[in-house]
């Protein structure tokens, strides 16, 4: 990766004057990955303001402070600066580090700070200079979305003119709509979103991402993917948040809506966030070694072993919603089998067959989904891999065949799989968290907060309400 020069505080002040910038927009995510922002008038900003940061109420942000101790500081990261394309007035946007005003230290529950600490651990242990991450975030585009929940009713309704269920509508052309689960890399006019994805790609480029490709995904209802270039862990977590921000805003301007829910549609493929990973040291890819299985080094195998060992606990951060486990089921290319393989998409870790050069060699962890907080998910994956490398763990033998058939034949006895529910994933995290707590990267307080919130605010919310399908199954019992 070429070195990118970070703007100085003084150069930012000068740019505010030269470009007649009206606002600084300070962006950050809450504990669970929801993007927040604070707009600051640029008129009277000076260098001291950017160095010190800007205060905000941490008690009003999910997963942060209590009301009795609420003050926190947003400190903009100059390296993350970009011109926000969605504001009418000239605006410079920054991703921020969150600082505790009590001792001017990084805030312990700042997801971005946790990602930075994981990168620092990698360097301080002498393992590698850089962890390169390349996430692939899939999403659905819908024309219409309605949902509601009340004591006496609950429903959701999704519609897309490009979906297979629209073929019988008056005036629709049956020939321009893909069949269920048959839309992968469809061409226009069947792919009705090519131009929209191109527009999104151009906006992504304007805010600093490097889009490399886009295409329609498998689900025949506007499921899409736009691939962008890999980079260092925290930068790529920033990019993932920025990607979702851009996608949502561009699509909204075309009077459509986007969801990154892992499984919005029954009997269609869900949306994943495949994460490509490699480690670099002294300019060399530590995951490459010629004439071994898939040209993977022994270090790469140790890293894989760590991820596979801790994968059930990782799901609590990488697949953090009840909806995540609607996707991790057989029959939809779901990466639920805890094995690795070359060029096998039914394994949770795939070694891309096309990545043959020393520079390109990587592993692809396919289990995560885009509902995750990328700062926490990427940090947790890295810590699991580091644990495998430090303990020199060995992965199970790779499986180079369809794993669903492999299991059905009886040869897959003892093969581990991902948790079947969010509750199971949270229990796995409770029982397997030491690899996260080492060197204080994650804290016990944060993990307890995460588990408590997920159980109380999400699992309980879902479990206590009648499900529409229960009326189909049980109304006349």
Same domain, 103 and 183: no
Share of the chain above pLDDT 90, in %: 81
4 domain residue, yes or no: no
474 domain residue, yes or no: no
Task: Write down the pLDDT at residue 220.
Answer: 85
- List the single range of 7-16, 116-125, 400-409, 438-447 with lowest mean pLDDT: 400-409
444 domain residue, yes or no: yes
pLDDT at 121 over 80: yes
117 domain residue, yes or no: no
Query: Of 25, 84, 110, 225, which is the active-site residue?
Result: 225
User: Does residue 301 carry a catalytic annotation?
Assistant: no
Q: What angle do CA 132, 134, 139 make, to 5 degrees?
A: 160
Query: Of 75, 274, 350, 362, which is the active-site residue?
Result: 274
* Confidence label for 101 from pLDDT (cuts 50, 70 and 90): very high
Domain span at 302: 130-466
- List the single range of 119-123, 193-197, 249-253, 331-335 with lowest mean pLDDT: 331-335
Task: Write down the pLDDT at residue 409.
Answer: 80
User: Does residue 10 carry a catalytic annotation?
Assistant: no
Long-range interactions of 68-72: CB distance < 8 A, separation 24+: 71/101, 72/98, 72/99, 72/100, 72/101, 72/107
Pull the structure tokens for residue 202: 């151009």
User: Does residue 310 carry a catalytic annotation?
Assistant: no
Same domain, 160 and 72: no
User: Does residue 366 carry a catalytic annotation?
Assistant: yes
Q: What angle do CA 33, 35, 37 make, to 5 degrees?
A: 145
| 303 backbone φψ class: left, alpha, beta (φ>0; ψ -120 to 50) | alpha
Query: Of 110, 119, 138, 301, which is the active-site residue?
Result: 138
207 domain residue, yes or no: yes
Same domain, 171 and 85: no
* Confidence label for 345 from pLDDT (cuts 50, 70 and 90): confident
Task: Write down the pLDDT at residue 422.
Answer: 98
**Secondary structure element (H or E) that encloses residue 48, with its range:** helix 47-52
56 domain residue, yes or no: yes
CATH code at position 252: 3.30.590.10
Which residues on neighbouring strands pair with residue 144, listed in sequence order? Answer: 159
Q: What angle do CA 107, 111, 112 make, to 5 degrees?
A: 85
| Tens digits of residue pLDDT in 45-72 | 999 999 999 999 999 999 999 998 899 9
List the one residue out of 303, 358, 357, 363 whose CA is nearest residue 335.
363
Task: Write down the pLDDT at residue 186.
Answer: 84
Same domain, 90 and 134: no
| Tens digits of residue pLDDT in 235-286 | 999 999 999 999 999 999 999 999 999 999 998 999 999 999 999 999 999 9
397-428 exposure pattern, b = at least 16 Cβ within 10 A, e = fewer = ebbbeebbebbeeeebeeeebbbeebbebbbb
Query: Of 366, 369, 428, 458, which is the active-site residue?
Result: 366
Evaluate whether 453 touches 62 at the Cβ level (below 8 Å).
yes
Query: Of 47, 57, 212, 252, which is the active-site residue?
Result: 57
In Å, how far are 138, 176, 199, 404, 417 from 324, measured between CA atoms?
A: 13, 31, 29, 20, 14
Pull the structure tokens for residue 227: 């691939």
CATH code at position 80: 3.10.20.70
248 domain residue, yes or no: yes
pLDDT at 380 over 60: yes
Compute the mean pLDDT over every residue in the chain, rounded to the nearest whole number.
Answer: 93
User: Does residue 298 carry a catalytic annotation?
Assistant: no
Q: What is the DSSP string of 384-409?
A: HHHHHHHTT--PPPP--S-HHHHHHT
pLDDT at 433 over 90: yes
Same domain, 188 and 267: yes
Q: How much is the average pLDDT of 30-38?
A: 97
Same domain, 73 and 217: no
Query: Of 119, 217, 369, 458, which is the active-site residue?
Result: 217
- List the single range of 126-140, 165-179, 254-268, 434-448 with lowest mean pLDDT: 165-179
Q: For residues 314 and 384, give the distance between their C-alpha atoms in angstroms, rounded to a whole number.
A: 8
Q: What is the DSSP string of 197-247?
A: HHHHHHHHHHTT--EEEEEE-SSTTTEEEEEE--EEHHHHHHHHHHHHHHH
Q: How much is the average pLDDT of 166-178?
A: 71
User: Does residue 138 carry a catalytic annotation?
Assistant: yes
Same domain, 300 and 197: yes
| Tens digits of residue pLDDT in 348-362 | 999 998 888 999 999
Q: How much is the average pLDDT of 153-160?
A: 93
pTM for this predicted structure: 0.95
472 domain residue, yes or no: no
DSSP state of 72: E
Query: Of 119, 268, 301, 364, which is the active-site residue?
Result: 364
Q: Structurally, how many domains does the chain consist of?
A: 2
Beta 211-216 vs 223-228: how paired, if at all? antiparallel
In Å, how far are 92, 145, 200, 407, 472 from 15, measured between CA atoms?
A: 9, 41, 26, 60, 62
Query: Of 136, 191, 268, 295, which is the active-site residue?
Result: 136
User: Could you identify the residue written with the tokens 């360097």?
Assistant: 123
User: Does residue 136 carry a catalytic annotation?
Assistant: yes
Q: For residues 189 and 182, give the distance between their C-alpha atoms in angstroms, rounded to a whole number.
A: 14
Q: For residues 141 and 253, give the distance between their C-alpha atoms in angstroms, rounded to a whole number.
A: 13
Same domain, 270 and 419: yes
User: Could you identify the residue written with the tokens 């490398």?
Assistant: 389
* Confidence label for 84 from pLDDT (cuts 50, 70 and 90): very high
Same domain, 212 and 65: no
Same domain, 96 and 154: no
Q: What is the DSSP string of 16-35?
A: HHHTT--EEEEEEE-TTS-E
Same domain, 287 and 138: yes
Task: Write down the pLDDT at residue 425.
Answer: 98
Q: For residues 235 and 116, give the distance between their C-alpha atoms in angstroms, rounded to a whole number.
A: 9
Same domain, 91 and 145: no
Sign of CA dihedral 42, 44, 48, 54: negative
Task: Write down the pLDDT at residue 399.
Answer: 87
Q: For residues 329 and 332, give the distance between their C-alpha atoms in angstroms, rounded to a whole number.
A: 7
| Tens digits of residue pLDDT in 320-331 | 999 999 999 876
Task: Write down the pLDDT at residue 174.
Answer: 65
Pairwise pLDDT comparison (410 vs 52), residue with the higher score: 52
List the one residue out of 95, 60, 89, 48 whose CA is nearest residue 76.
95
Q: For residues 433 and 443, give the distance between their C-alpha atoms in angstroms, rounded to a whole number.
A: 10
Pairwise pLDDT comparison (403 vs 216), residue with the higher score: 216
* Confidence label for 173 from pLDDT (cuts 50, 70 and 90): low
Evaluate whether 347 touches 366 at the Cβ level (below 8 Å).
yes
Cα separation of the two ends of the chain: 63
Evaluate whether 290 touches 140 at the Cβ level (below 8 Å).
no
Pull the structure tokens for residue 143: 């024309």
Could you give the 3-state DSSP secondary structure of residue 147?
strand
CB contact set of 393 (below 8 Å; sequence gap of 6+): 302, 305, 306, 309, 387
Task: Write down the pLDDT at residue 172.
Answer: 58
Query: Of 345, 416, 427, 455, which is the active-site residue?
Result: 345
């Amino acid at each position: 990766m070429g070195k990118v020069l970070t703007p100085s505080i003084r150069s930012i002040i000068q740019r505010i004057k030269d470009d007649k910038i009206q606002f600084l927009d300070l962006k950050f995510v809450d504990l669970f990955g929801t993007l927040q922002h604070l707009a600051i008038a640029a008129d009277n900003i000076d260098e001291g303001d950017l160095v010190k940061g800007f205060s905000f109420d941490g008690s009003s942000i999910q997963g942060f402070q209590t009301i009795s101790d609420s003050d926190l500081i947003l400190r903009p990261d100059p390296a993350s600066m970009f011109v926000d394309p969605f504001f009418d007035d000239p605006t410079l946007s920054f991703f921020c580090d969150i600082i505790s005003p009590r001792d001017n230290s990084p805030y312990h529950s700042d997801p971005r700070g946790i990602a930075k600490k994981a990168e620092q651990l990698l360097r301080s242990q002498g393992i590698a200079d850089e962890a390169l991450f390349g996430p692939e975030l899939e999403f659905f585009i819908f024309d219409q979305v309605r949902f509601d929940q009340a004591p006496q009713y609950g429903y959701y309704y999704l519609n897309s003119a490009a979906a297979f269920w629209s073929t019988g509508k008056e005036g629709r052309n049956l020939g321009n709509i893909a069949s269920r689960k048959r839309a992968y890399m469809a061409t226009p006019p069947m792919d009705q979103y090519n131009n929209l994805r191109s527009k999104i790609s151009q906006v992504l480029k304007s805010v600093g991402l490097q889009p490399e490709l886009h295409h329609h995904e498998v689900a025949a209802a506007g499921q899409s993917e736009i691939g962008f270039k890999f980079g260092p862990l925290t930068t790529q977590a920033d990019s993932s948040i920025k990607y979702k921000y851009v996608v949502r805003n561009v699509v909204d301007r075309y009077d459509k809506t986007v969801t990154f829910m892992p499984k919005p549609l029954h009997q269609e493929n869900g949306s994943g966030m495949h994460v490509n990973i490699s480690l670099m040291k002294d300019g060399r890819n530590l995951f490459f070694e010629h004439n071994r299985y898939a040209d993977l080094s022994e270090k790469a195998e140790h890293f894989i072993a760590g991820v596979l060992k801790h994968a059930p606990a990782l799901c609590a951060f990488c697949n953090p919603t009840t909806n995540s486990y609607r996707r991790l089921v057989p029959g939809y290319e779901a990466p639920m089998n805890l094995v690795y393989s070359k060029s096998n998409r039914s394994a949770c870790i795939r070694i891309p067959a096309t990545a043959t050069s020393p520079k390109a060699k990587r592993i692809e962890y396919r289990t995560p989904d885009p509902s995750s907080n990328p700062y926490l998910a990427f940090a947790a994956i890295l810590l699991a891999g580091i644990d495998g490398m430090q303990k020199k763990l060995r992965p199970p033998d790779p499986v180079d065949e369809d794993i669903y058939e492999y299991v059905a034949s009886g040869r897959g006895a003892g093969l581990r799989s991902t948790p079947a529910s969010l509750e199971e994933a949270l229990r796995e995290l409770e029982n397997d968290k030491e690899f996260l707590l080492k060197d204080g990267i994650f804290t016990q307080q944060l993990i307890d907060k995460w588990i408590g919130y997920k159980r109380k605010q999400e699992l309980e919310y879902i479990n206590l309400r009648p499900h529409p399908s229960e009326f189909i199954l049980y109304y006349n019992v």
